[in-house]
Copies of this chain bind each other. A is one copy, B any other.
């Protein structure tokens, strides 16, 4: 199949493409922590192998083949994260780097058995959906906490930021997956949000609220 590096490129292109449509050379370079010139080289190789469509100076888009390969890597990454948290008692802010290595282990049997061992989880420790072995995602409806209105209730089901600092901060505030919350106030001045969680009132910055994902239970 592909080398570690190729797999990393595919994964990053996939994630970048989720937001925008086609993906710029510089954006890839930034994510890969490498130089644009190196990205051009690799893009050509991936295009030759049929993983991306590439028009000079226009960036790339994943082909069907490329998308499938990328989804497989995402699947592995997220399953390993579940393993680390559920079985080895890692914290949700400790798993990323190790999963980044584990995702490259090449064995279909391994991943299928791991999936089964973990009970076919639908999402990883950050709430991100885990595609099944056919590459299909369960449809998940996230509402950003920042978009909830005063009085709305919801459950924390994910985060859109995976930095250790952010996750540790949430942990300290008790804002972990599955927790029930209610919006009690939104501050005009700085847009910070007052929320009710486990009977307590806490205040979180707008920046934090932007990266918490919820499934809303509607108005109180």
Contact = CB atoms under 8 A, between A and B. Distances in A.
A110 B84 CA distance: 8
Interface in A147-184: none
Interface string A97-116: 11001100111011001100
Nearest to A101: B105
B105 A98 contact: yes
A88 interface: yes
Nearest to A4: B4
Contact of A101 (B87, B97, B106, B109): B106
Contacts of A113: 88-90
Interface string A65-100: 000000000000000000010011110001001100
A117 interface: yes
Interface residues of A, number: 18
A109 B114 CA distance: 20
A109 B95 CA distance: 11
A117 B88 contact: yes
Contacts of A87: 117
Nearest to A97: B107
A88 B107 contact: no
Contacts of A114: 88
Given A113-B88, A114-B88, A117-B88, A101 B107 contact: yes
Contacts of A97: 107
Nearest to A107: B98
A154 to B, nearest CB: 33
A115 to B, nearest CB: 10
Interface string A168-207: 0000000000000000000000000000000000000000
Interface of A: 84, 87-90, 94, 97-98, 101-102, 105-107, 109-110, 113-114, 117
8 contacts: A87-B117, A88-B110, A88-B114, A88-B117, A94-B109, A97-B107, A101-B106, A102-B105
Q: Which 6 A-B pairs have the closest CB atoms?
A: A88-B113, A98-B107, A101-B105, A98-B110, A88-B117, A87-B117
